[in-house]
């Protein structure tokens, strides 16, 4: 395909467009990953983990962190406990303000972590955008009706 036949009159890609070159390194990365998986057998991994555990028991704190991360999970991983925070129902822009204020208050009081607050605020922001979109849709429909008259 030449440059003129890749896009239509509106600039959109035509059917059958091969796309870009992709990631030129992905094949090599795949080869490396395959080589590592073939070299690291379960038996070798067990031997390596015993050596890391031995180093941890001898006081190597980096090794101890590796052991804890593998056995207990890395710190800050999601809790299986549901978040219990009483938030107002969010249906208006004013509700968004109230919900956001509640999250900030809970964070300040130590009821929730910063990570939990960020997640909640992201949800509240999504609700805000949804409300804004719905409001714009109503306003646009009213404007269109008024222009028809």
Least confident range of 38-47, 64-73, 74-83, 119-128: 74-83
3-state secondary structure the chain: CCHHHCECCCCCECCCCCCCCCCCCHHHHHHHHHHHHHHCCHHHHHHHHHHHHHHHHCCCHHHHHHHHHHHHCCCCCCCCCCCCCCCCCCCCHHHHHHHHHHHHHHHHCCCCCHHHHHHHHHHHHHHHHHHHHHHHHHHHHHHHHHHHC
pTM score: 0.46
What is the C-alpha separation between 81 and 83, in angstroms, rounded? 6
Residue 78 pLDDT exceeds 70: no
Structural domain spans, the chain = 26-72, 93-148
- Can you give the pLDDT at residue 50? 93
What is the C-alpha separation between 134 and 97, in angstroms, rounded? 17
Tokens of 126: 């999504």
80-119 pLDDT, tens digit per residue, is 567 778 899 999 989 999 999 999 999 898 888 888 899 8
């Amino acid at each position: 395909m030449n440059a003129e036949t890749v896009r239509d009159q509106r600039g959109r890609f035509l059917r059958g467009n091969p796309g870009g070159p992709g990631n030129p390194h992905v094949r090599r990365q795949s080869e490396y990953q395959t080589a590592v998986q073939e070299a690291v057998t379960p038996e070798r991994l067990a031997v390596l983990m015993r050596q890391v555990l031995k180093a941890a028991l001898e006081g190597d704190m980096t090794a101890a962190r590796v052991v804890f991360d593998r056995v207990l999970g890395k710190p800050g991983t999601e809790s299986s406990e549901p978040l219990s925070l009483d938030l107002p129902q969010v249906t208006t822009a004013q509700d968004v303000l109230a919900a956001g204020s509640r999250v900030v208050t809970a964070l300040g009081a130590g009821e929730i972590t910063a990570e939990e607050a960020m997640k909640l605020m992201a949800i509240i922001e999504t609700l805000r955008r949804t409300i804004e979109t719905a409001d714009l849709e109503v306003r646009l429909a009213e404007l269109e009706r008024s222009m028809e008259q």
